[in-house]
Chains A and B, each alone.
Chain A
Amino acid sequence: MLEIHPSYPALASVAEKYPTHRGSLFQTYNDILLAQQWRDVQVIDLARCKRGAIQGRRPRTAADADLLLHIVPCSLAESISLAWIQDVFAALANPPSIYLAVVSDDSSIVYYKLSSGIVKPSI
């Protein structure tokens, strides 16, 4: 069903390569592109982690609008270890932080921000 969705072509290559994670990638891509309205949204292939990820920038009106941010989708059924998280950071060339998108089967997505190292609270 998701193959015939208009947004599928942008994901097709990565989705075909890792069919188990197709659903969460599709869900997250649509949420980021259409609902959150991020700019310069692209799907990237994390071969080392055997899944796809998404990169993009926040809408122009947001804070940090020019930062390139990375989002890694995963589903509620998976279990995630520290090694997994470290792999993801390494595969993305060690950005200061990444977003983990946990997708549920009713299309709810919860985003977690994971930073490498200690981060001071903003306020």
Chain B
Amino acid sequence: MSSGKSKGPNKGGARRHENDRIYAHPLPLIFSDPSSSRTRSILGLLGLSRSQVINPHCEGYYDPSTRSVWVVNQRDSEILWRRGFFGKGNLSRSEPSWFVRQVKDRKSRQVDSGANKMTSEEIREKRRADRKQFKLDRAAAIAKVAAEAETIFETEGRVVVPALFGPEIPSGSTWKSKTAESERESSGSLENAESKREDENEGEEEEELLEDMEHLQLTLSEAFFLAWNFDCLTILDPETACFDEPLSLPEIWTTFQQIYLAPPIPTLPTPELQLDNPFLIHYAVYHHYRSLGWVVKNGLKFCVDYLLYKRGPVFTHAEFAIVVCPVYEDPQDQEVSITNLRNASPFTWSWLSTINRANSQVMKTLILTYVTIPARSRLSKEMLKTPACFAHYSVREVIVRRFIPARMRD
């Protein structure tokens, strides 16, 4: 935007190198080869390898109320985030950083700290404050120009049309944050420090031991992806009597589907597994894009189901926004369906236009991902007992771009 990105101690290249180092592994499993490079090349000629798979063996707790798997352990949290960007801190924007922010808050209350490395939440707040200030400055400049035009008309009788653009009115590229960053920070932090010190003297500011209240939250799709494909996540059931029992894969498979089938009255029996279960549809899409190498994250902020990142949120913004559109192979299945699937019926042009506009504004391409649900007549009930049923689902993409005939001639 305007004032230029704040280049702290990790400017451009250094930050990129650090990110490349921290986020070097795209998946939780690591391959390591203990032999020397000579042995490796000799064995390689014979088509052999002594490389081993290092499995981090992470643990998570299944929580039915939030329909997610919680990773409470800090080591596992870090591994799952850094190797593949799985999950989201439940009190943070992306990576669990709540504890770090709290500790920093406390430190800044005691000591006037200079510009340290900011968490992404702090960067976001600063960006919003800058943008607000820019809008205020621009509005003031426009009002000033209009007032000048008025006085010119009154004194000289000349009509001047007040400009909305021009050298006097700040635009996105010319506006500079008025006070220098350091000035604002020091004055801001001074104010904060003063007011906070007052709070401390007045109220009961308990500086007790800070407990980390945050966990890494994995969606059911992410958890199943890790457990089924890499066997690097053990999912524990906290409801079991004495100690937390790990769920077996078949149990995970049925539990994750049944959560969506829970009857409205708890006393009724759980209905049997269905082919159009939202878990199956969303997992099919998640698996499809993950297996192609994309990092798939939630798209709630942009009115879509998923966002696709090329390497990860840390590197670039998401380029694609996915809307999942389930389609029934047999229309009769849709009529008798007990699950209420979103977007299973075609949506209106106005809605499609809205989503497309919202996403083009943030430079994302909208993709409609159609998932075909196989017909019940074709598949036996037995198929639903294992993930083998996924072979019968198909995933196809349609890219939506707005075409303006008057402007797009190429």
Q: Which of B90-98, B309-317, B344-352 contacts A (4 or more CB under 8 A)?
A: B90-98
Selected interface stretch from B66-74, B151-159, B366-374: B66-74
Query: Is B38 among interface residues, defined by CB-CB distance under 8 A?
Result: no
**Is the CB–CB distance between B300 and A123 below 8 Å?**
no
Q: Is B195's CB under 8 angstroms from A27's CB?
A: no
Say if the beta carbon of B139 comes within 8 Å of chain A: yes
Q: Is B326 an interface residue (CB 8 A)?
A: no
Cα of A26 to Cα of B211 in the assembled complex, Å: 18
Given A4-B238, A22-B65; A108-B298 close (CB under 8 Å): yes
Closest B residue to A22 by beta carbon equals B65
Per-position binary interface string of chain B over residues 134-156, scored 1 when its CB falls under 8 Å from any chain A CB and 0 otherwise: 01100100000000000000000
Q: In the bound complex, how far is the Cα of B98 from the Cα of A62, in angstroms?
A: 19
State whether B66 touches A123 (Cβ < 8 A): no
Given contacts A23-B66, A23-B67, A34-B91, contact A105 B301 (CB under 8 A): no
Is A1 interfacial (CB-CB < 8 Å)? yes
Q: Once the chains bind, are A26 and B68 in contact (CB under 8 Å)?
A: no
Given A1-B238, A27-B66, A105-B67 in contact, is the A123-B98 Cβ separation under 8 Å? no
Interface residues on A, range: 20 to 34
Which residue of chain B has its CB nearest to the CB of A7? B213
Q: Of B63, B70, B88, which is in contact with the most chain A CB atoms at under 10 Å from its CB? A: B63
Contact at A60–B219, with CB atoms within 8 Å?
A: no
Is B217 interfacial (CB 8 A cutoff)? yes
Q: In the bound complex, how far is the Cα of B214 from the Cα of A27, in angstroms?
A: 11
Instruction: Check A1–B220 contact: CB distance below 8 A.
Output: no
Which residues B208-222 have CB closer than 8 A to chain A? 211, 213-214, 217-220, 222
- Hey, which bits of chain B sit against chain A, CB under 8 A? 61-63, 65-68, 70, 87-92, 98, 135-136, 139, 192, 195, 199, 211, 213-214, 217-220, 222, 238, 297-298, 300-301
With A76-B300, A104-B298 in contact, do A26 and B66 touch (Cβ < 8 Å)?
yes
Contacts of A43 in B (CB 8 A): none
Question: For B65, B68, B195, B220, which residue has the most chain A Cβ atoms within 10 angstroms?
Answer: B65
8 A-B pairs with CB atoms under 8 Å apart are: A6-B213, A27-B66, A31-B90, A35-B92, A104-B298, A105-B67, A106-B68, A108-B301
Knowing A7-B213, A26-B65, the reply to whether A35 touches B300 (Cβ < 8 A) is no
Chain B residues whose C-beta falls within 8 Å of the C-beta of A108 in the assembled complex: 88, 298, 300-301
Contact of A2 with B by CB under 8 A: yes
The answer to whether A6 touches B91 (Cβ under 8 A) is: no
Partner of B63 from A1, A31, A35, A60 at Cβ < 8 Å: A1
Counted as pairs of residues, one from A and one from B, with CB atoms less than 8 Å apart, the total is 75
Distance A2 CA – B217 CA, assembled complex (angstroms): 12
- B192 partner residues in chain A, CB cutoff 8 A: 61
| Min C-beta distance of A109 to chain B, whole Å | 8
A30 within 8 A of B: yes
Interface residues of A (CB under 8 A from B): 1-2, 4-7, 19, 22-23, 26-27, 30-31, 34-35, 60-61, 76, 102, 104-108, 110, 123
The list of the 5 closest CB pairs from A to B, nearest first, reads A1-B63, A23-B66, A23-B65, A107-B90, A35-B91
* A107 touching B213 in the complex, CB below 8 Å, given contacts A30-B90, A35-B92, A123-B139: no
Task: Point out the residues of chain B lying under 8 angstroms from A19, CB to CB.
Answer: 65
One of B63, B98, B135, B214 near A2 (C-beta < 8 A): B63
> Inside 8 A of B98's CB, which chain A residues have their CB?
34-35
**Separation of A102 and B303 alpha carbons in the complex (Å):** 11
Given A1-B238, A34-B91, A35-B92, are A107 and B65 neighbors across the interface (CB < 8 Å)?
Answer: no
The CA-CA distance from A42 to B42 in the complex, in Å, is 68
Q: How far is it, in angstroms, between the C-alpha of A76 and the C-alpha of B70 when the chains are bound?
A: 19
A105 near B219: Cβ-Cβ < 8 Å:
yes
For residue A64, give the distance in angstroms from its CB to the closest CB of chain B. 14
Q: How far is the CA of A27 from the CA of B135 in the complex (A)?
A: 33
If A1-B70, A76-B300, A123-B135 touch, does A106 touch B219 (CB 8 Å cutoff)? yes
Shortest distance in angstroms between A26's beta carbon and chain B's nearest beta carbon?
Answer: 7
List the A side residues contacting B219 at CB < 8 Å: 105-106
Q: How far is the CA of A19 from the CA of B139 in the complex (A)?
A: 48
A101 CB, min distance to chain B CBs, angstroms: 11
The interface residues of chain B lying within 8 Å CB-to-CB of A2 are 63, 65-66
Residue of A nearest to B262 (CB): A20
Smallest CB-CB separation from A6: which chain B residue? B213
For B259, the closest partner residue in chain A by CB is A105
A106 and B70 in contact, given A1-B61, A23-B65, A34-B91 (Cβ under 8 angstroms): no
